[in-house]
Amino acid sequence: MKRFKLLLLDANVVIYLFEVGLWDKLVERCEVLLSRIVAEREAQFFEKDDGEKVYFDLQPYIADKRVAIVDTSVADIKAFRDLFDPVYLSRLDDGESESLAYLITSPEKCLICSADAIVFRVLALLDRIEQGLSLEEILGSIGL
């Protein structure tokens, strides 16, 4: 079974994994990194079909080091955002910007998983498309 190392997840992926009950299994099989913005502001709950919000807590995963938080400096995020015109920027949320800025500044080769097409368009513009994976690819590779 392939184990992904340094896998950055977008908030929408984290939320979905909690919603379908696969978060714990993914964390067991992958070294997961989350941007601070995703962990602290964006990935907090999912909504049921009836609109009820179901909250989840990432802090236990962070506290026992099953998930690592990455911080990207404001300067690095700004430098990353300065690479793109407003059309792209308007479609990137803060967590995606922080995650992608980390991806391009990190000395370690990270993979990023998102359900947002804009993330893959940005990766293509940066000539880093091989660093983007769909959730389907990851789950299949780790036997889920």
What average pLDDT does the segment 101-106 reach? Answer: 92
User: Where residue 49 sits, what CATH number does that domain have?
Assistant: 3.40.50.1010
What is the CB neighbour count within 10 angstroms for residue 39?
Answer: 23
Given CA atoms 79, 81, 82, 84 in this order, what sign does their dihedral have? Answer: positive
CA distances from 110 to 2, 51, 105, 138 (A): 15, 35, 10, 13
**How many domains, in total, are found in the chain?**
1
Of the pLDDT bands very low, low, confident and very high (cuts 50, 70, 90), residue 134 is very high
Q: Residue 129 is part of which domain span?
A: 4-141
Q: Is 15 helix (H, G, I), strand (E, B) or coil?
A: helix
What is the CB neighbour count within 10 angstroms for residue 46?
Answer: 18
What is the pTM for the complete model shown?
A: 0.91
Round to whole Å and give the CA distance between 139 and 56.
21
Residue-wise pLDDT tens digits, 50-95: 999 999 999 999 999 999 999 999 999 999 999 988 877 888 899 9
Count CA atoms within 13 Å of residue 48 on its CB side.
Answer: 5
